[in-house]
Amino acid sequence: MTTMTLNDTTLDVDAEGYLQKPEQWTPAIGEAIAREMGVTMTDRHWVVCNFMRERYLTTGSAPSIRSLGKESGVPIKELYELFPRGPAKYASRIAGIPKPHGCI
Amino acid sequence: MSRILILGAGTAGTIMANRLRRRFAKDVAAGKTSITVVDEDPRHIYQPGLLFVPFGVYRPDDIVRPRRMQLHEDVTYKPGAIEMVIPEDHAVLLKDGTRLPYDVLVVATGTRIAPEETEGMMGPEWHHAVFDFYTVEGATALARKLSTWRGGKLVVNVVEMPIKCPVAPLEFSFLADWYFTMRHMRDTVDITYATPLDGAFTRPIAAQHIGDLLDRKHIGLVTEFNAGRVDNERKVLVSWDGRELPFDVLVTIPLHQGAAYLKATPSLVDDNLFVRTNPATLQSTAFPDIFAIGDATNLPTSKAGSVAHFESEVLDDNIGHFLAGEPLEDGFDGHANCFVETGFDQALLLDFNYDTEPLPGRYPLPIGPMTLLGESRMNHMGKMAFKWVYWNLLLPGHTIPGIPARMSMRGKLAPATT
């Protein structure tokens, strides 16, 4: 495991920059990760990231795009407007949770 | 009396039933242990063969056998549709009202394609210009289409990960290049491979190798393409971010989900209806007397027959431990082993697990005879011979000589560390 430093905090991350210990995350760190990825966070971005984080912490896995679209209050079309290159990948990184397993 | 209940008699369920029958042979024969398998479809499909059906290499008859015949005679086969699992009662309810109590339950109902989840996919062009090849019906319809097609734009698209056999859509693209070349019409066919991933494959070294192959075969690669809908009238595949891919033939790998009956037991599954499974023991993370194997799990490894085979060795032992009241073994390492057919009688071989990505080298010994991540005719012969291995060694639950369940670094070339 590698580490990176953001906002003077040392974070455990994987090779692609996903936090491996969600407890090291704070909203300010989320903002900093978003900035690094070129995403300017709005309230709508936060609705998605908070939903993902909450779901991960309660169930142990991140929601699929489809359940994000149905249950987060942000429809799929808007998810892609907020995170054009892939909502699941981007939002989970900003939300400080490991990369969703879909990608194997 | 121990009652072992297995849901699904595909690759994973069949291997598991036959292995457990062997483990408990005496008890099963004496009626002290029962092994029951439920599956509503009387056909067992050799799924790796589906890839070859669209190109006329196999006919549907070549890849289908009766399901009952693949199970040992001491295994009870129950044809029937599943209504739901009731973990609190340690029972499974069938749609016809039958209640099957269990001491150990193995969920092996795999994954299904859900084309209905993408807007327009099952519109008027479904099986006319829009095809899947993950079902016998889809692969057969596509074979009919390709045999008379005059050429145009062929788009191969993966809707969303995870999918069964993540290399299959790549193999389809390679074989399409071969097929149209052999028919002297390759110059009239424009092949595009569109994926939601940021490269040709999931893991970096393999993505590089496979990306080069696509390039060499003049197959266009479109990455981070998240298909949102199919416009049937204009014959265009539209991504959520508004990009459009026009097609004459669209070969789609639709969204995958676990079996529909699992919806009734949300505590057991994730959003895509895959069973939340301990990656090393294969036990459900919610209920100790439930286990999962094969495509039905949510594990971060490939959904592939080889994985089911490797898992079966671990699960066989762990069910033995569970019934004896012993602690389980952390035996499974995510091992997957996949031939990638590349056309013109060549194939690649991938061998990897949770921690080690597919690497170049030789397999299973440092001298081969197979080549990892490189094209060879020997790999292709391995792929074609696998059909025999599947019916005669894999399904009966035998260990394949020289191919252990745990991945080995023998013969692999590790990347230089930076």
Domain co-membership, B285 together with B330: yes
Domain co-membership, B145 together with B221: yes
B299, closest residue in chain A (CA to CA):
A101
Q: Do the Cβ atoms of B166 and A104 come within 8 Å?
A: yes
Domain boundary among B225, B255, B285: B255
Please report residues of B whose CB lies closer than 8 A to that of A60: 276, 285
**Does A73 lie at the interface with B, CB-CB under 8 angstroms?**
no
* B316 vs B208, higher pLDDT: B316
C-alpha closest to that of B251 among B301, B347, B176, B313: B176
How many CB pairs lie under 8 A apart between chains A and B? 53
Euclidean distance between CA atoms B247 and B235, whole angstroms: 6
Domain boundary among B189, B223, B255: B255
Q: Report, as an integer, the average pLDDT of B331-337.
A: 94
Catalytic residue check, A103 = yes
Q: Is the pLDDT of residue B418 over 50?
A: no
Q: Do the Cβ atoms of A61 and B160 come within 8 Å?
A: no
Instruction: State the amino acid at position B270 in one-letter form.
Output: D
Q: Do the Cβ atoms of B285 and A80 come within 8 Å?
A: no
Six token digits for residue B304: 């592939």
Q: Do the Cβ atoms of A76 and B240 come within 8 Å?
A: yes
Domain co-membership, B240 together with B321: no
State how far the alpha carbon of A86 is from the alpha carbons of A76, B204, B211, in Å. 11, 18, 21
Q: Do the Cβ atoms of B285 and A63 come within 8 Å?
A: no
Q: Residue B362's pLDDT is what?
A: 92
Residue of A14, A64, A83 to mutate when probing chain B, most B C-beta within 10 A: A64
Euclidean distance between CA atoms B316 and B75, whole angstroms: 15
Q: Residue A9's pLDDT is what?
A: 82
Domain co-membership, B80 together with B186: no
Q: Do the Cβ atoms of A86 and B226 come within 8 Å?
A: yes
Domain co-membership, B45 together with B160: no
Q: Residue B47's pLDDT is what?
A: 97
Range of the domain at B85: 1-110+259-418
Please report residues of B whose CB lies closer than 8 A to that of A59: 270, 276
A76, closest residue in chain B (CA to CA):
B240
The full set of domain ranges for chain A reads 2-94
Q: Which of A81, A85, A104 lies at the smallest CB-CB distance from B301?
A: A104
The pLDDT tens digits of the residues spanning A13-23 come to 888 889 988 89
Q: Residue A65's pLDDT is what?
A: 81
CB within 8 Å of chain A, chain B residues 271-300: 271-272, 276, 285, 298-300
Q: Is the pLDDT of residue B282 over 50?
A: yes
C-alpha closest to that of B364 among B334, B399, B404, B311: B404
Domain co-membership, B410 together with B394: yes
* Geometric angle at alpha carbon A50, from A46 and A56, rounded to 5°: 150
Domain co-membership, B146 together with B266: no
Domain boundary among B217, B236, B255: B255
Give the helix/strand (H/E) hosting B153: strand B152-158
In SS3 terms, chain A reads as: CEEEEECCEEEEECCCCCECCHHHCCHHHHHHHHHHCCCCCCHHHHHHHHHHHHHHHHHCCCCCHHHHHHHCCCCHHHHHHHCCCCHHHHHHHHCCCCCCCCCC
Euclidean distance between CA atoms B305 and B389, whole angstroms: 12
Domain co-membership, B356 together with B398: yes
Q: Do the Cβ atoms of A77 and B228 come within 8 Å?
A: yes
Domain co-membership, B214 together with B165: yes
Domain co-membership, B25 together with B153: no
Q: Is the pLDDT of residue B417 over 60?
A: no
Q: Residue B330's pLDDT is what?
A: 96
Q: Report, as an integer, the average pLDDT of A86-98.
A: 90
**Does B240 lie at the interface with A, CB-CB under 8 angstroms?**
yes
Q: Do the Cβ atoms of A86 and B276 come within 8 Å?
A: no
DSSP string over B230-244? EETTTTEEEETTS-E
Domain co-membership, B241 together with B336: no
B301, closest residue in chain A (CA to CA):
A104
Q: Is the pLDDT of residue A10 over 90?
A: no
Q: Residue A102's pLDDT is what?
A: 54
Domain co-membership, B186 together with B219: yes
Please report residues of B whose CB lies closer than 8 A to that of A104: 161-162, 166, 202, 300-302
Q: Is the pLDDT of residue A104 over 50?
A: no
State how far the alpha carbon of A80 is from the alpha carbons of B118, B202, B217, B271, B336, in Å. 15, 21, 32, 19, 32
Domain count for chain B? 2
Q: Is the pLDDT of residue B129 over 70?
A: yes
- Classified as helix, coil or strand, B213 is helix
Please report residues of B whose CB lies closer than 8 A to that of A61: 270-271, 276, 298
Kindly report the CATH number assigned to the domain that includes residue B211: 3.50.50.60
Q: Residue B7's pLDDT is what?
A: 98
The whole-angstrom distance between B33's CA and the closest CA on chain A is: 35
**Mean pLDDT lowest among A53-62, B144-153, B363-372:** A53-62
Instruction: State the amino acid at position B137 in one-letter form.
Output: E
Catalytic residue among A23, A42, A77, A103: A103
Residue A15 neighbours by CB distance under 10 Å: 9
Q: Do the Cβ atoms of B271 and A66 come within 8 Å?
A: yes
